[in-house]
Structure 1
Amino acid sequence: MQRDALIGFGLDSVIEVLSAVAVAWQFTHRDPERWEKPTVRAIGIAFFALAAYVIVDALLTLAGVQEVEHSPLGIGIATVSLLVMPALAWLEFRTGRELGSRSVVADAKQLLLCMCLSGTVLVGLLLNSLFGWMWADSVAALVVAGLAIREGVEAWRGDVESPLEVLEALGERESLDEH
């Protein structure tokens, strides 16, 4: 993984922490619902910032300005992230629904995007390491950037429904089938 991709991966983590801080800040106020819209919009801005960085980084790599290197450490970090992020996102989404908080649900979507970024980084690193396909990580990153932009627009509008609802609905259906 090129040095800049590692920085991008770290930047995603920083944005994730800032998103969580925004949600925590919202709940420090007497009337957290009053601060819901600005908090969700701040999370939307975080999606846009992540997309911008990922697009620039991917385009620089595809243009040959940056070189891609093999990174066993990057593969390990991306793998751990893929294992941990889905559980954290599910817990946060569930908490957000129980609280009726769109900002907490939006932050859970940020975790899902982080998971997608981890997956694309992992696939790109593996394709580069195994087959020498240096372009694979950049192409996958551009797909993630598109998702980040879509999620940013949805957060900005206040539409923060989560893809995890599909999983939850399946679980409820299975539960009903068992009875």
Structure 2
Amino acid sequence: MTVMSLAPSPARREVLTRRIRLLVATTITYNVIEAVVAITAGSIASSTALIGFGLDSVIEVSSAAAVAWQFSARDHGVREARERRTLRIIAVSFFALAAYVSVDAVRALSGTGEAGRSIPGIVIAALSLAIMPFLSAAQRRAGHELGSASAVADSLQTLLCTYLSAVLLVGLLLNATLGWSWADPIAALVIAIIAVKEGRDAWHGTGCCAPAVRPAAPAEVAAAPADGCGCTPDCACCT
């Protein structure tokens, strides 16, 4: 039986690599702006949610920078060698994000401090909610096709930023219009649970890579994962 390769050609790999570099650079640039605006606006309005959102942007930058470091290598073998280390950096970023959001949510629920209305905060949250899903989807598609677990894990962290943007926007709007201070920290605790799950997946390298070669022989098929996607031994995940 003939082996049918599903791996992208060298030319296609180069295109995908350049695309991921561009997407990562865009994500880093936007998150730096987002962090400055959110932390500044949060400090002015005494909003722990906005400051936490800004710090999340800093974590997003560290994650994207880790992927940029991986894909800065021209040699494919070097990029693969950096994959595991990059995934660990992304996982730690998720855990740090979950820890901060949890602490911030508990503080908010305990009634520590009262945030004022922040129009700049509402604007940056709305912009992030509109922009981040597209950046995440584009990087996730390229990462899947390339078979890069770290690129997909980073795209999931960008998607998590979308959820946080929604939580922040709802919290800021409810605080500004109705004076409800409890909605944001409750939703933030849910986001923290999601962050822990994504961090665990990134740490183990699960749920993110595409198969390089479809199994050809019956023995190989029997040894393949249950869903038959044919992931290679050094790629511990199938989607």
2:112 is the alignment partner of 1:112: no
Which structure's relative contact order is higher, taking Cα pairs within 8 Å and 6+ residues apart? Answer: 1
Residue aligning to 2:111: 64
Residue aligning to 2:132: 85
Counterpart CA distance in 2 for 1:101 and 1:121 is: 30
Work out which of the residue numbers 61, 64, 73 in structure 2 matches 1:20.
64
Alignment of 1:1-179 (within 5 A): 2-29=46-73, 30=75, 31-161=78-208
With structure 2 as the length reference, what TM-score do the two structures score? Answer: 0.65
CA offset digits 1:16-63 (Å, max 9, x no partner): 111111011112334111111111111010000111111111111111
Which protein is bigger by CA-based radius of gyration? 2
Counterpart CA distance in 2 for 1:4 and 1:56 is: 10
Sequence identity of aligned pairs in percent?
55
RMSD between aligned residues: 1.5
Count of residues in correspondence between the two structures = 162
Q: Is the 2:48–2:115 Cα contact (8 Å) retained in structure 1?
A: no
With structure 1 as the length reference, what TM-score do the two structures score? Answer: 0.85
The Cα shift of 1:153 comes to 0.8
Q: Is the 1:70–1:125 Cα contact (8 Å) retained in structure 2?
A: yes
Over 3 Å off, 4+ runs: none
Structure with more of its chain in helix, by fraction: 1
Counterpart CA distance in 2 for 1:7 and 1:52 is: 14
The Cα shift of 1:120 comes to 0.4
Counterpart CA distance in 1 for 2:72 and 2:121 is: 36
Counterpart CA distance in 2 for 1:81 and 1:52 is: 22
Gaps of 5+ in 2: 1-44, 210-239
Higher mean C-alpha deviation, range 62-71 or range 96-105: 62-71
